[in-house]
Amino acid sequence: MRVAIGGSTGLVGTALARHLVRSGHEVVRLVRGEVKATEQRHWDPDAGRIDGPGLEDVDAVVNLAGSPIGGVRWTKERKAEIRRSRATSTLTIVTQLAPDGRCQRLLNGSAVGYYGDTGTEIVDETFPAGRGFLSGVVTDWEAAADHSPVPTAKLRAGQVLTRDGGYLAMQWPLFALGLGGRIASGHQFVSWISMIDHLRAIEFLLTSDLTGPVNLSSPNPVSNAEFTATFGAHLNRPTLLPLPLPGVQLLFGREFVKEALLTGQRVRPARLLAAGFEFQQPTLMQAFAAIG
């Protein structure tokens, strides 16, 4: 297949491009900056534009574009950018597609944050949207994808585990020093997926007939306390000290702490499993072992 990737310079987009090429696919990388390679194509989601030939020469699109959620304080302006970047990139892509065109598959980014705080209840794709800023962002993100004229799957991703960035990489230095610990009570659930299973699931969905929301997360979500203990055991380091939330609140704000750290989802990838996808690393210990 010839696959265009939006968000191709991000953590998952970069890994996905490599993975698809190794699997024998052709990749067109949509980039915002200067085009420096033949597989790159300039796009400007803010202007709703993709340079010619647009998406007319690809079989599928995977859109992962969107401003990072973590690592910065959630100011009013930053929250607007998080929301806007996802909607505009999605709308730019769907307006380039045609029901009778070559491209007949869109996999659009989404996240398990759609469900809000689910406590200990196990949720699948049939559950409604939750409450809060992140749930609202994902709801708008998915609503933009609903304008697609071709079969579309919404990738409700859990935390993708890799040392290269994201959820795990931010915590690695603290845990390596023996300073890692649970967040508050540690009862909130973490829905996670190893990077290799995330990439394999996306490739699987490229040729699947699944449309609508699809949870991309391990069938074995864990509490934050279990995640913490497993992480510490993998590094052979203690995990006795809880995360000092007052300090984190000073840096990133109360809303970020509440939604990104104290809220959790216990998600089951029901549709992916029913479609026959098999996880290579279904348990957290297996995922850590593969990371090294």
- Among 38, 39, 36, 17, smallest CA distance to 28 is for 39
Q: What does pLDDT average to in each consecutive run of 10 residues of the chain (292 residues)?
A: 97 97 98 95 97 97 95 93 97 98 98 97 98 97 98 98 92 94 96 98 97 98 98 96 89 91 96 98 97 87
Angle at CA of residue 132, ends 129 and 136, nearest 5°: 55
Sorted by where each starts, the structural domains of the chain and their CATH numbers stand as 2-291 (3.40.50.720)
pLDDT of residue 247: 87
Q: What does the chain look like in DSSP terms, one character per residue?
A: -EEEEETTTSHHHHHHHHHHHHTT-EEEEEESS---STTEEEEETTTTEE-TTTTTT-SEEEE-----SSSS---HHHHHHHHHHHHHHHHHHHTT--TTSS---EEEEEEGGGG---TT-EE-TTSPP-SSHHHHHHHHHHHHHTT-SS-EEEEEE-EEE-TTSHHHHHHHHHHHTT----STTS-SEE-EEEHHHHHHHHHHHHT----EEEEES-S--EEHHHHHHHHHHHHT----SPP-HHHHHHHH-HHHIIIIIS---EE--HHHHHTT---S--SHHHHHHHH-
pLDDT of residue 198: 98
pLDDT of residue 70: 86
User: pTM (2 decimals)?
Assistant: 0.96
How distant, in Å, are the alpha carbons of 105, 113, 149, 253 from that of 72? 34, 18, 35, 9
Residue entry with tokens 């300090």:
247
